[in-house]
Amino acid sequence: MLSSLNPASQAFVNSLGAVSQRLSQEQQQISSGLRVAQVSDDPDSVSPILQVRASLSSVGQILQNLGQVATETTTADQSLQSAVSLVDQARTLAAQAASGTQTAQTEQDIGQQVGAILEQIVGISNTSVGGRYIFSGDSDQTPPYSVDLTQATPVSSYQGSASTRRVQHPDGTTFAASETAQQIFDAPAANQNVFSSISGLYTALQNNDQNGISTAIQNITGAASYLNTQLAFYGGVENKITGATNFGTNLQVQLQTRLSQLQDVDDSQAIVQMTQDQTTEQAAIQSWAQIPRSTLFDFLR
């Protein structure tokens, strides 16, 4: 289709259209706050924007996971503190029983208290958070232990599995955040095994076995020390989670700043530019209106 406009008029229309298009884009940017709302706004910025958005999403998910792990770790730490207190109580009861002033009946009474302590510690080993048994390793839907004081070996074998789960740090590394109840309460060495040392004391008290009580005291003392090292492990994990969370939060701020630099509009600059374009548009229209026009009647005179 041929244009009925002469070259000068066509150039004016094209220039005016370009100014109008810029004004429309500037108004959209100011209202939305975005310099890049679609690919055509700045094709070179699209790839960096998508990369930063992906990084922000990843960091956000990692922080969410860290929050969940923090809850589990805090619960584990508090649970083990309770277990340490219970083991100390068992050690105190063992010392009373070994004093030589107890009768067979009072030793059985002490034994009942020790049995109750054993049941409580097994209960601690079955601690759950959000439907997960946090000391069952990867088999977190299964309680790791059960207890029956009527059995010769009151505490069951471990029903969980190894713990292979690792927690993602925002810097790209990972770290272990949990131990199993087997590692914590059921260590292979007798003088580190919380369950067997307290079970041994319980059995010795029921049987008025002084040698057994003496052996149990030694084992419980070692188990108490070992349990404290497991408590220290969770203290270390809490510190790692705090550090990772702080790192991730700072990284989020940096990424948000970078994303803003890439896609957000500079309001002051956009307003100045829009004002300039509005002035240009108005001046052009006024100037065009003042240009003399020749008509067919001018040539027929």
Q: pTM to 2 decimals?
A: 0.74
Q: Which residue has the higher pLDDT, 279 or 126?
A: 126
What pLDDT, on a 0 to 100 scale, did the predictor assign at position 290?
58
- Is the pLDDT confidence value at 299 over 50? no
For residue 41, what pLDDT band results from cuts at 50, 70 and 90? low
Q: Which CATH architecture has domain 51-258?
A: Up-down Bundle (1.20)
Q: What is the pLDDT of residues 199-214, one digit of tens each?
A: 999 999 999 899 999 9
For residue 3, what pLDDT band results from cuts at 50, 70 and 90? low
- Is the pLDDT confidence value at 249 over 90? yes
Domain residue ranges in the chain: 51-258
Mean pLDDT on 223-244 = 96
Residue 282 to residue 278: CA distance in whole angstroms: 6
Q: What is the pLDDT of residues 141-200, one digit of tens each?
A: 999 999 999 999 999 999 999 999 999 999 999 999 999 999 999 999 999 999 999 999
- Is the pLDDT confidence value at 12 over 90? no
